[in-house]
Amino acid sequence: MGGVVFLLLAAGFAAAGLRLSWETLPQDRYTEVVWWSPASWMFAGLFGFAGLYLVVTGGIWKRDSRFQPMSSEQLVAAVQNAAVPFCVCLDCMLFLPYEVSVGRCPRCESSGSCLEVHNGADRKTALNAIPPGR
């Protein structure tokens, strides 16, 4: 989310820089323009890069690629082999490390279809609940 905020800030500074470049200002505000126009562009570039960096490395895209939906067979194999505790989202067909979900699926935001697996009985319940052939 931080990355998106930075990108919005960058857009804001870019808009300010544009306005200052195009606006014809009175003579006594000349130094202000000389200072603020490049400064605005600099901030726009800075926040733009920071925002892009955050979005690419720590943001939305990475989160989505980390949690790819699995086929039934893959999910069953993951549930059978993984060490407890972990979570499984039956709507998304996702295997979730316990520390990223804690009872709520980060992809669909549902807690109802997100099963927590703490022991062998939970594991059996999860395995039975996984719909076959998906």
Contact call for residue 10 and Zn ion (CB under 5 A): no
Q: Which residue type is seen at 23?
A: E
Closest separation in Å from C-beta 34 to Zn ion: 53
Work out which of 92, 93, 96, 126 binds Zn ion, going by CB under 5 A: 92
Scored b (16 or more CB within 10 A) or e, 87-104 reads bbbbebbbbbebeebeeb
Q: Rounded to an integer, what distance in angstroms lies between the CA atom of residue 94 and that of residue 80?
A: 14
Q: Which of 44, 54, 93, 105 binds Zn ion (CB under 5 A)?
A: 105
Q: Does 55 bind Zn ion (CB under 5 A)?
A: no
Nearer to Zn ion, 54 or 70 (CB): 70
Listed ranges 54-62, 67-75, 77-85, 88-96: which one lies at the site for Zn ion (CB under 5 A): 88-96
The nearest distance, CB 55 to Zn ion, in angstroms, is 22
Give yes or no for residue 108 binding Zn ion (CB under 5 A): yes
b/e string for 18-51 if b means 16 or more Cβ within 10 A? eebeeeeeeeeeeeeeeebbeebbebbeebbebb
Min CB(30)–Zn ion separation in Å: 57
* Pairing state between β 86-89 and 94-97: antiparallel
Which residue, 9 or 100, has its beta carbon nearer to Zn ion? 100
- 89 touching Zn ion, by CB under 5 A: yes
Residues of this chain that interact with Zn ion (CB under 5 A) are 89, 91-92, 105, 107-108
